[in-house]
A and B are shown apart, each in its own frame.
Chain A
Amino acid sequence: MAQPTGFLSTTVGQKALMALSGLALVGFVIAHMLGNLQVFLGPEALNAYARSLRAVPALLWAARAVLLLSVVAHVSTAIRLVQRAAAARPQGYRQAHHAATTYAARTMKISGPLLALFIAYHLAHLTFPGVAMGGYIHSPTDVYANVVAGFSIPWVAGIYVVAQVLLALHLYHGIWSMLQSLGASHPRIVQPRRALAQGLALLVLAGNLSIPIGVQLGVVR
Chain B
Amino acid sequence: MSDKLNLVLNVWRQKGPKDAGRFVRYEVKDISTHMSFLEMLDVLNERLLAQGEEPIAFDHDCREGICGACGVVIDGSPHGPSKRTTTCQLHMRSFRSGQELTVEPWRAAAFPVLRDLVVDRSALDRIIQAGGYVGVRSGSPRDANSIPVRKEDADLAMDAAACIGCGACVAACPNASASLFTAAKISHLALLPQGQPERRERAIAMVARMDGEGFGHCTNHGECESSCPKGISVDNIARMNREFLAAAAASRRPLGAEAKDDDGGA
Cβ of A151 < 8 Å from any Cβ of B? no
Is the pair B216, A99 in contact by a Cβ cutoff of 8 Å?
no
Is the pair A99, B172 in contact by a Cβ cutoff of 8 Å?
yes
Cβ of A137 < 8 Å from any Cβ of B? no
Contacts of B240 in A (CB 8 A): 12, 183
- Segment at the B interface, from A45-53, A57-65, A83-91, A120-128: A83-91
Is the pair A97, B76 in contact by a Cβ cutoff of 8 Å?
yes
Cβ of B213 < 8 Å from any Cβ of A? yes
Residues of B147-175 contacting chain A, CB below 8 A: 172, 174-175
Contacts of A7 in B (CB 8 A): 248, 255
Cβ of B90 < 8 Å from any Cβ of A? no
Cβ of A26 < 8 Å from any Cβ of B? no
Cβ of A182 < 8 Å from any Cβ of B? yes
Is the pair A176, B220 in contact by a Cβ cutoff of 8 Å?
yes
The docked-state distance in angstroms from the alpha carbon of A107 to that of B85 is 29
Is the pair A93, B104 in contact by a Cβ cutoff of 8 Å?
yes
Given A10-B207, A95-B76, check contact A182 B214 (CB 8 Å): no
Shortest beta-carbon distance from A193 to chain B in Å: 9
Contacts of A1 in B (CB 8 A): 211-214, 266
Is the pair A87, B211 in contact by a Cβ cutoff of 8 Å?
no
Cβ of B198 < 8 Å from any Cβ of A? no
Other-chain residue from B174, B220, B259, B265 in contact with A85 (beta carbon distance below 8 A): B174
- Segment at the B interface, from A13-21, A29-37, A67-75, A162-170: A13-21
Contacts of B221 in A (CB 8 A): 100-102, 105-106
For A176-188 the 0/1 string (1 means CB < 8 A from B) is: 1101111111000
Is the pair A182, B219 in contact by a Cβ cutoff of 8 Å?
no
Is the pair A92, B107 in contact by a Cβ cutoff of 8 Å?
yes
Cβ of B75 < 8 Å from any Cβ of A? yes
Cβ of B176 < 8 Å from any Cβ of A? yes
- Segment at the A interface, from B63-71, B131-139, B230-238: B230-238
Binding site secondary structure of chain B: mixed
Shortest beta-carbon distance from B10 to chain A in Å: 8
The docked-state distance in angstroms from the alpha carbon of A88 to that of B215 is 5
Contacts of A10 in B (CB 8 A): 207-208, 211, 244, 255
Contacts of B184 in A (CB 8 A): none
- Chain A interface size, under 10 / 10 to 19 / 20 to 34 / 35 or more: 35 or more
Is the pair B73, A88 in contact by a Cβ cutoff of 8 Å?
no
Cβ of B49 < 8 Å from any Cβ of A? no
The docked-state distance in angstroms from the alpha carbon of A190 to that of B217 is 21
Shortest beta-carbon distance from A154 to chain B in Å: 36
The docked-state distance in angstroms from the alpha carbon of A7 to that of B246 is 12
Cβ of B110 < 8 Å from any Cβ of A? yes
Is the pair B248, A88 in contact by a Cβ cutoff of 8 Å?
no
A-B pairs with CB below 8 Å: how many? Answer: 158
Cβ of A218 < 8 Å from any Cβ of B? no
Given A93-B107, A97-B76, check contact A4 B212 (CB 8 Å): yes
The docked-state distance in angstroms from the alpha carbon of A185 to that of B234 is 9
Contacts of B255 in A (CB 8 A): 4-7, 10
Contacts of B141 in A (CB 8 A): none
Cβ of A96 < 8 Å from any Cβ of B? yes
Residues of A177-205 contacting chain B, CB below 8 A: 177, 179-185, 190
The docked-state distance in angstroms from the alpha carbon of A171 to that of B93 is 42
Contacts of B110 in A (CB 8 A): 88
Residues of B179-209 contacting chain A, CB below 8 A: 179, 207-209
Other-chain residue from B10, B176, B222, B245 in contact with A88 (beta carbon distance below 8 A): B176
Is the pair B207, A12 in contact by a Cβ cutoff of 8 Å?
yes
The docked-state distance in angstroms from the alpha carbon of A6 to that of B207 is 12
Cβ of B218 < 8 Å from any Cβ of A? yes
Contacts of A97 in B (CB 8 A): 75-77
The docked-state distance in angstroms from the alpha carbon of A108 to that of B176 is 17
Given A81-B217, A88-B216, check contact A180 B77 (CB 8 Å): no
Cβ of B102 < 8 Å from any Cβ of A? yes
Shortest beta-carbon distance from A182 to chain B in Å: 7
**Chain B residues close to A by CB (< 8 Å):** 10, 23, 73, 75-77, 102, 104, 107-110, 172, 174-177, 179, 207-223, 225-227, 234-235, 237-245, 248, 254-256, 259, 262, 265-266
Q: Apart from A13-B244, A94-B10, A181-B241, what 14 extra A-B contacts exist at CB < 8 Å?
A: A1-B213, A4-B208, A4-B211, A4-B212, A5-B256, A12-B244, A12-B245, A15-B217, A91-B107, A95-B76, A99-B172, A99-B227, A100-B222, A183-B240
